[in-house]
């Protein structure tokens, strides 16, 4: 008779073993070289078809392929260790530029970029170490999420009738603090008296970013306490926030991609991260021969972040609101407003 705790260890061991075996390596072999630039893309855990982050990167790649006639191939890693394997496979196959989608690639990129100095690398949401200088062939692409969050915060501050708004983050980490800090600053800019309730979903990636049932309960609690707009930065957990807004007929604000369609009339707007623009511009720089390594930040000034207005939310946003938001955007681009990140 085994004890339950032994069961748990057995389960963990087997899960790990099977996961390693399942993590397939299926990068394509190099095709014929006809002079066109060859781009490889390695996706994040969500994978192609996540209707968000990865799809946005893929759109950028397709747009670049369309525009510049570059050849491209994609790779979906199964498990952690496959990320580096995927990058190395593409580098060995002499792709000209290899793009890793997501901060999880940061460590693998650092190593592989040093081993293959002739290949160009770009990492979306690169997570730099303090004081780090990147090799010439590695571009770390970052987004000023706080700037986009500031604008949706302005909208929330102007829209709220109760003067109480909420924020639901996935995990209590610096990346998510950028969303929170920008949002709060924006809301206070629009309405200095506004109060902001902040909650975080979980301490493990699963609870934090993949548990919509939990997101819904967190949101219902906030709505129950008089909050009437909630901005989420919590991946799939946030789908539950939007569902809660629909159920009690309040407002949610989407994140990363345009989520206005998910509950028409109950999603005030979405903070969109233009990963597609960043990918397109990076491929463009490689095509034009002016690719350079180092950190590059995409903010409001170069359409790296923004907010979404479409047929699903245009009735919620008044002309006056949008003009205040556009003034704020202008002020951020010109540097008269500096947006906090913590």
Q: Does 48 bind other proteins (CB under 8 A)?
A: yes
Q: Does 36 bind other proteins (CB under 8 A)?
A: no
Q: Nearest Cα to 135, choosing from 153, 152, 118, 147?
A: 118
- The residue assigned the tokens 């190593």 is 111
Token code pair at residue 177 = 């603090």
Q: Does 10 bind other proteins (CB under 8 A)?
A: yes
Strands, E assignment, the chain = 38-42, 71-75, 97-101, 120-124, 138-143, 164-169, 195-200, 229-233, 251-256, 267-273, 294-298, 305-307
Residue (135 or 163) nearer to other proteins, CB: 163
Binding mask 199-228 for other proteins (x = CB under 8 A): xx-xx--xx--xxxxx-xxx-xxx-xx---
**Contacts for 255 with CB less than 8 Å, ≥ 6 apart:** 179, 231, 232, 233, 234, 238, 270, 271, 273
Least Å distance between CB 106 and other proteins?
A: 23
Q: Does 129 bind other proteins (CB under 8 A)?
A: no
Residues 66-95 that bind other proteins (CB under 8 A): none
Cα gap 323→306, rounded to integer Å: 15
Residue (51 or 63) nearer to other proteins, CB: 51
Residue (245 or 339) nearer to other proteins, CB: 245
Binding mask 241-280 for other proteins (x = CB under 8 A): --x--x---------------xx-----------------
What is the size of the binding site for other proteins (CB under 8 A)?
Answer: 47
Distance set, CA 230 to CA 153, 164, 219 (Å): 10, 9, 7
Q: Does 294 bind other proteins (CB under 8 A)?
A: no
Contact 200, 172 (CB under 8 A): yes
- The residue assigned the tokens 């049932």 is 213
Footprint of other proteins (CB under 8 A): 1-2, 4, 7, 10-11, 14-15, 18, 22, 46-52, 166, 172, 197-200, 202-203, 206-207, 210-214, 216-218, 220-222, 224-225, 236, 239-240, 243, 246, 262-263
């Amino acid at each position: 008779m085994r004890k339950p705790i032994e069961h748990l260890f057995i389960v963990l061991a087997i899960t790990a073993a099977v996961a390693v075996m399942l993590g397939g390596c299926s990068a394509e072999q190099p095709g014929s070289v006809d002079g066109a630039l060859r781009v490889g893309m390695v996706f994040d855990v969500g994978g192609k078809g996540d209707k968000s982050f990865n799809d946005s990167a893929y759109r950028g790649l397709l747009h670049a392929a369309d525009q510049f006639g570059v050849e491209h191939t994609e790779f979906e890693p199964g498990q952690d260790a496959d990320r580096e394997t995927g990058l190395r496979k593409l580098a060995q196959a002499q792709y000209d530029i290899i793009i890793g989608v997501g901060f999880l690639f940061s460590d693998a990129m650092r190593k592989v970029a040093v081993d293959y100095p002739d290949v160009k690398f770009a990492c979306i949401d690169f997570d730099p170490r303090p004081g780090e200088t990147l090799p010439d062939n590695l571009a770390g692409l970052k987004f000023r999420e706080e700037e986009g969050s500031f604008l949706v915060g302005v909208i929330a501050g102007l829209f709220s009738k109760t003067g109480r708004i909420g924020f639901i983050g996935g995990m209590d980490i610096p990346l998510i603090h950028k969303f929170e800090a920008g949002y709060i600053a924006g809301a206070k800019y629009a309405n200095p008296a506004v109060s902001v309730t902040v909650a975080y979903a979980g301490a493990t990636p699963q609870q934090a970013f993949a548990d919509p049932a939990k997101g819904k309960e967190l949101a219902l609690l906030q709505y129950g306490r008089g909050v009437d707009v909630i901005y989420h930065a919590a991946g799939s957990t946030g789908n539950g926030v939007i569902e809660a807004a629909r159920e009690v007929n309040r407002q949610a604000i989407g994140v990363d991609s345009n989520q206005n369609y998910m509950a028409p009339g109950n999603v005030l707007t979405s903070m969109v991260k233009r990963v597609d623009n960043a990918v397109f511009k990076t491929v463009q720089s490689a095509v034009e021969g002016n690719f350079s390594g180092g950190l590059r930040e995409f903010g409001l000034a170069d359409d790296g972040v923004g907010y979404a207005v479409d047929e699903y939310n245009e009735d919620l946003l008044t002309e006056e609101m949008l003009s205040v938001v556009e003034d704020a955007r202008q002020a951020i681009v010109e540097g008269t407003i500096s947006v906090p990140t913590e």
